[in-house]
């Protein structure tokens, strides 16, 4: 009995202690409260409102496919409960601290804990911003609500103080919000006008970015059981599902449970869903597949390429936007690149479906698609899926599991990668004898470097068939606007609020550039229209088709021959061609090094860097045996500006400032010693260094690396642009004479000829 009595006493003491803690963490009550008590009571309601707002927002941005209002409300309830629990815990901690009232201590600590909880839920701000935001938000909400309650409830002798406090709190909040509410600005404006070039339109060539002559029809195909979208439930043509369990075995655990609940299927029965734009006429047409990247799976991405589907279909191509949303990231997890094989494999399964339709003489799509004339196009991770699909197309077995057999072998003529990733798949794939094109924006904060150029470097030509590879770098374009749904922010809220969107071009302009180049690419590789090839060498030939933008082109075809690539060894004085000798005179910098992206990652090529501070400097390549100008038609160079700050100048030198134009003479010498020359700017100017500020706040830009990176571009100089070129029968020496700009840094990646 004594033991039971002791236990009862302990229970009573604990209950008493609990009630006492509850009493001290609740706001003061009563009609006759002191001014200090009223202030803290108001601060309580202000910080409670702030806590509930933060948790509601973290739920609102937590994309699950369920209504954001419901998720936000659920998060708000969690915040309401958490606000009480955290203050209770804080009051326990405060027992050992007597300098602050328990109520105040628990209120402050409880609010901080709520912010931490919201961050863990879905408030993806960097700590450097989030931590300072906590202090500002708590001060502004607490001071505002506390002083407001004093003014409303009590005649205070410090009325002026509380009025000033309210205005100060409002000003603090407004100034903080203003820092992220404005779209941002461009701290590195570029005033650059490219050398004029003969327009393609002047030769009667049609703009590939405008609709063609074909009327089009639109329809969808799928298995007809989609529980999320009517367009794949009410389909024109039904398809069978495919078993991807061995292609994406990572579909397991909580990822698999939530995905099955959301989509209604597992990796054993992936759907073959597609949106189709097709010429509305008789005949057989080339087939183009477009696939999106890793956007949030609940925010469906495949409708975002309608602008390309309508354009390409009107120009005689069956175009399909492929649905792969079900393997995209979601709140329950991202596959972190382990889904990349499935992205490529699914494209080939779509081609397999079209092959079955085309072979079925009882099907409306009988002989509609030309499976020997196919182009694949992908955005973001979908862009990296292009070389994967191309490689799998030629294999007999899945390389990660030989029990999966492949029987594809479709006639894929080329791939196009829009702002692609290049490191999600663990294999770095080399492409041979295939057309490759990639496009990238400088303000892409998702993929902050032109990773498509790394795949460009891994694409080679070994046979006599005409193929080409090309790259287009679009200054002021971002990642998302290539998809009409993804938008200007390459990151979801609330992180996306800090993105510097002010400098970006409009979505309409960005998509117009995509239409012109992707339309021209399709015409070139599927309709064999070589008239569009100059567009991939110099955007200036299509100035009347394109928005006013800084565009950098990279180009090489199977008819080109490289003399110097700098990749063969570490000897600065020897070239790629046997017996070639390289020399430099009066230069301050001369080195060969792997070219790097802004974050220090490798671009996949080695280049020479030449810097000079004298107009008597030069850099030359002399061949052991002269090479005839025929059958070549032009000199082809791959160049970029280097970092001018690496040069050393005397304090009073006038040429220490980076020149607006980096111009120099290119001199050719034949085996008889006759020379012929031109300047680089006569044909095409080297673009300025492109610097980018991705985030509005400086402290958030560090994770991207340097503000600029070397951006290579191709220069094709026809023999006719050189003086006395008609007397030049062969070439023994190629010389860069730096006599047009007194100082500069030039990156040379390749020197060669083009037919």
Percent of the chain with pLDDT over 70: 94
Q: What is the side-by-side strand order in the sheet with 435-441?
A: 237-238, 216-222, 274-279, 318-322, 285-291, 369-379, 412-418, 435-441, 468-474, 551-557
Question: Structurally, how many domains does the chain consist of?
Answer: 3
In a domain, 187, yes or no: no
DSSP string, 684-695: -PPPPP-B---B
Of the pLDDT bands very low, low, confident and very high (cuts 50, 70, 90), residue 377 is very high
Give the strand pairing for 581-585 and 561-564.
unpaired
pLDDT at site 95: 62
pLDDT in tens, 717-732: 999 999 977 778 899 9
Q: Which of 588, 546, 538, 688 is nearest to 209 (CA)?
A: 546
Q: Is 399 left (phi over 0), alpha (psi -120 to 50) or beta?
A: alpha
Select from 557, 581, 599 the last residue of a domain: 557
Residue 687 maps to which CATH number? Answer: 2.60.120.260
Select from 557, 572, 602 the last residue of a domain: 557
In a domain, 188, yes or no: no
pLDDT at site 85: 82
pLDDT in tens, 455-483: 999 999 998 899 999 999 999 999 999 99
Q: Look at residue 2 and tell me whether its pLDDT is greater than 60.
A: no
- Domain shared by 389 and 473, yes or no: yes
Mean pLDDT of 399-415: 97
Among 60-74, 114-128, 297-311, 485-499, the range scoring the smallest mean pLDDT is 114-128
- Domain shared by 288 and 429, yes or no: yes
Mean pLDDT of 128-135: 78
pLDDT at site 187: 96
Q: Look at residue 373 and tell me whether its pLDDT is greater than 80.
A: yes
- Domain shared by 240 and 155, yes or no: no
Of the pLDDT bands very low, low, confident and very high (cuts 50, 70, 90), residue 1 is very low
Higher pLDDT, 256 or 65: 256
- Domain shared by 611 and 640, yes or no: yes
- Domain shared by 112 and 218, yes or no: no
- Domain shared by 537 and 641, yes or no: no
Among 124-128, 194-198, 228-232, 554-558, the range scoring the smallest mean pLDDT is 124-128
pLDDT in tens, 321-347: 999 999 999 987 889 999 999 999 999
In a domain, 4, yes or no: no
Mean pLDDT of 748-753: 96
DSSP string, 626-654: EEESTT--EEEEEEEE--GGGS---TT-G
In a domain, 193, yes or no: no
Higher pLDDT, 411 or 725: 411
Could you tell me the residue range of the domain that residue 452 belongs to? Answer: 200-557
- Domain shared by 333 and 269, yes or no: yes
Select from 526, 557, 588 the last residue of a domain: 557
In a domain, 191, yes or no: no
Residue 224 maps to which CATH number? Answer: 3.40.50.1820
Of the pLDDT bands very low, low, confident and very high (cuts 50, 70, 90), residue 12 is low
- Domain shared by 417 and 452, yes or no: yes
Cβ contact 115:130 at 8 Å: yes
Higher pLDDT, 203 or 63: 203
pLDDT at site 3: 41
- Domain shared by 87 and 233, yes or no: no
In a domain, 335, yes or no: yes
The pTM is what? 0.86
Of the pLDDT bands very low, low, confident and very high (cuts 50, 70, 90), residue 111 is confident
- Domain shared by 101 and 235, yes or no: no
In a domain, 5, yes or no: no
In a domain, 2, yes or no: no
Cis amide linkage into residue 580, ω under 30° from 0: no
* Mean pLDDT of all residues belonging to the chain: 91
- Domain shared by 408 and 302, yes or no: yes
- Domain shared by 130 and 261, yes or no: no
User: Which two structure tokens, joined as six digits, stand for 359?
Assistant: 């072979």
Mean pLDDT of 312-322: 98
Of the pLDDT bands very low, low, confident and very high (cuts 50, 70, 90), residue 662 is very high
pLDDT in tens, 144-158: 998 998 888 887 778
Half-sphere exposure of 302 (CA within 13 A, CB side): 26
Q: Is 149 exposed, middle or buried (0-12, 13-18, 19+ CB in 10 A)?
A: buried
Query: 364-403 in b/e burial notation, b at 16+ Cβ within 10 A?
Result: ebeebbbbebbbbbbbbbbbbbbbbbbbbbeeeebeeeee
């Amino acid at each position: 009995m004594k033991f039971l009595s002791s236990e009862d006493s302990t229970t009573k003491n604990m209950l008493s202690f609990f009630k006492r803690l509850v009493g001290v963490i609740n706001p003061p009550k009563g009609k006759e409260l002191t001014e200090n008590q009223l202030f803290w009571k108001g601060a309580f309601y202000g910080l409670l409102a702030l806590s509930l707002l933060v948790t509601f927002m973290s739920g609102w941005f937590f994309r699950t496919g369920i209504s954001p209002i419901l998720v936000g409300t659920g998060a708000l309830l969690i915040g309401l409960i958490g606000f009480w629990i955290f203050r209770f815990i804080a009051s326990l901690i405060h027992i050992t601290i007597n300098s602050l009232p328990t109520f105040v201590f628990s209120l402050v600590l409880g609010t901080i804990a709520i912010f931490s909880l919201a961050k863990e839920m879905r408030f993806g701000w960097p700590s450097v911003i989030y931590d300072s935001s906590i202090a500002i938000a708590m001060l502004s909400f607490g001071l505002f609500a506390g002083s407001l309650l004093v003014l409303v409830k009590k005649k205070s002798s410090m009325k002026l103080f509380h009025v000033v406090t309210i205005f100060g709190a409002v000003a603090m909040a407004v100034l903080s919000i203003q820092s992220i509410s404005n779209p941002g600005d461009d701290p590195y404006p570029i005033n650059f006008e490219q050398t004029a070039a003969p327009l393609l339109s002047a030769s009667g060539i049609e703009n590939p970015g405008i609709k063609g002559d074909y009327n089009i029809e639109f329809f969808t195909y799928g298995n007809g059981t989609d529980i999320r979208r009517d367009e794949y439930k009410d389909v024109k043509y039904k398809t069978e599902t495919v078993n991807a369990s061995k292609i994406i075995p990572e579909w397991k655990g909580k990822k698999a449970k939530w995905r099955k609940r959301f989509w209604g299927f597992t990796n054993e029965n992936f759907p073959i869903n597609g949106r189709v734009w097709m010429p509305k006429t008789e005949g057989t047409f080339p087939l183009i597949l477009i696939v999106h990247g890793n956007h949030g799976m609940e925010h469906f991405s495949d409708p975002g390429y309608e602008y390309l589907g309508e354009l390409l279909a009107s120009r005689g191509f069956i175009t399909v936007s492929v649905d792969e949303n079900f393997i995209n990231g979601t709140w329950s997890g991202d596959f972190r690149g382990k889904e990349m094989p499935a992205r490529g494999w699914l494209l080939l399964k779509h081609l397999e479906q079209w092959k079955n339709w085309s072979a079925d003489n009882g099907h409306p799509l009988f002989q509609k698609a030309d499976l020997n004339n196919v182009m694949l196009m992908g955005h973001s991770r979908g862009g990296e899926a292009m070389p994967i699909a191309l490689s799998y197309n030629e294999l007999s077995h899945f390389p990660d599991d030989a029990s999966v057999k492949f029987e594809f072998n479709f006639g894929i003529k080329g791939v196009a990668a829009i702002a692609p990733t290049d490191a999600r798949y663990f294999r770095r794939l080399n492409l041979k004898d295939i057309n490759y094109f990639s496009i990238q924006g400088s303000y892409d904060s998702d993929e902050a470097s032109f990773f498509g150029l790394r795949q460009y470097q891994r694409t080679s030509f070994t046979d006599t068939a005409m193929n080409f590879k090309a790259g287009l770098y679009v200054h002021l374009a971002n990642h998302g606007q290539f998809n009409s749904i993804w938008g200007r922010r390459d990151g979801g809220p609330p992180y996306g609020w800090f993105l510097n969107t002010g400098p970006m071009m409009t979505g309409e302009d960005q998509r117009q550039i995509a239409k012109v180049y992707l339309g021209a690419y399709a015409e070139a590789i599927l309709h064999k229209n070589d008239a569009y090839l100059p567009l991939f060498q110099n955007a200036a030939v299509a100035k009347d088709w394109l928005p006013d933008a800084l565009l950098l082109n990279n180009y090489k075809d199977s008819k080109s021959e490289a003399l110097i690539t700098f990749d063969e060894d570490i000897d600065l004085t020897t070239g790629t061609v046997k017996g070639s000798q390289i020399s430099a005179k009066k230069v301050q910098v001369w080195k060969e090094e792997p070219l790097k992206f802004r974050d220090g990652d490798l671009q996949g090529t080695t280049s020479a860097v030449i810097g000079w501070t004298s107009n008597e400097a030069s850099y030359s390549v002399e061949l052991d045996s002269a090479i005839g100008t025929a059958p070549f038609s032009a000199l082809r160079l791959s160049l970029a500006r280097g970092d001018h700050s690496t040069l050393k100048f005397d304090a009073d030198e006038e040429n220490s400032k980076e020149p607006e134009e980096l111009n120099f003479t290119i001199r050719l010498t034949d085996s008889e010693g006759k020379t012929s020359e031109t300047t680089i700017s006569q044909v095409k100017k080297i673009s300025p260094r492109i610097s980018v500020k991705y985030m509005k706040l400086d402290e958030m830009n560090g994770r991207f690396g340097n503000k600029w990176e070397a951006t290579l571009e191709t220069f094709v100089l026809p023999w006719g642009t050189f003086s006395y070129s008609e007397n030049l029968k062969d070439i023994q020496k190629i010389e860069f004479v730096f006599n047009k700009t007194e100082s500069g840094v030039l990156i040379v990646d390749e020197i060669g000829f083009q037919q």
